[in-house]
A and B are shown apart, each in its own frame.
Chain A
């Protein structure tokens, strides 16, 4: 398996779809190739970074994700849903 094939497999996350021989080939390649290991680590780091970015509300006080705004939005939505019509209005 080439570096290009390994990088594509790792970043498209289709390792479950490539069959056991190819999965083994990817694992073996990663043991041997430091560039592909680094690439794979970068892909994992990207996921970690995304969780770090998104799992906390943004600094912006107008964000609906701040605890106060979230609580208000939630009660607004529940209030609205409690009055929602049983059947959708086809004009809307």
Chain B
């Protein structure tokens, strides 16, 4: 009998994890699912999926995780592997996710905030907001809606799950420069959107 409510999280960092997953060890599978399912559901929501889509993508992610366990060699952390599968599943569902656009409207909006010397011509407005307030949370959710899913996923992995930039680059298969551009665009898009709402 395994301890259903408290799986041994230490399994996730053990050198035998890859082998135990390949052998369908129930304790190892339970540790992976119980640890990463909530994070996967959050990330899917962050990428803009509705509840049914999030549930489906989580199911498919774990199915592929086990089916492809033969290729998991433990060189990267299991979390990187699982989130990499999730990213590809979300990409399949959201075709437009694909390649980052060379140019984005927000680049021009950002440029327009500065004069020719690079100083602020339209400085950020002061806003006294209570971030815990329900209305503010709703506003931020609304502003996130407008952003492309890959930028949203990068942002959620960074800010909500607290993953390192290096790990996110591996998950999304992008360079650190590309990740910087994604985070830059997402943050400025949401900032502009919120500032417009507070105007």
Contact = CB atoms under 8 A, between A and B. Distances in A.
Contacts of A11: 183-184, 187-188
Contact of A54 (B42, B51, B55, B68): B42
Query: Size class of B's contact patch?
Result: 35 or more
Mostly helix, strand, loop or mixed at chain B's interface? helix
B37 A52 contact: no
Mostly helix, strand, loop or mixed at chain A's interface? helix
Query: Size class of A's contact patch?
Result: 35 or more
B114 A3 contact: yes
Interface in A14-44: 14, 16-17, 35-36, 38-39, 42-43
Interface string A59-92: 0101111000010011011101110111110000
B115 to A, nearest CB: 9
B131 A5 contact: no
29 contacts: A2-B118, A4-B113, A7-B113, A11-B183, A11-B187, A12-B180, A14-B177, A14-B180, A35-B123, A36-B120, A43-B191, A45-B129, A46-B191, A49-B140, A50-B140, A54-B46, A54-B160, A60-B51, A64-B51, A64-B54, A73-B37, A74-B34, A76-B59, A77-B59, A78-B29, A78-B30, A81-B62, A81-B63, A85-B67
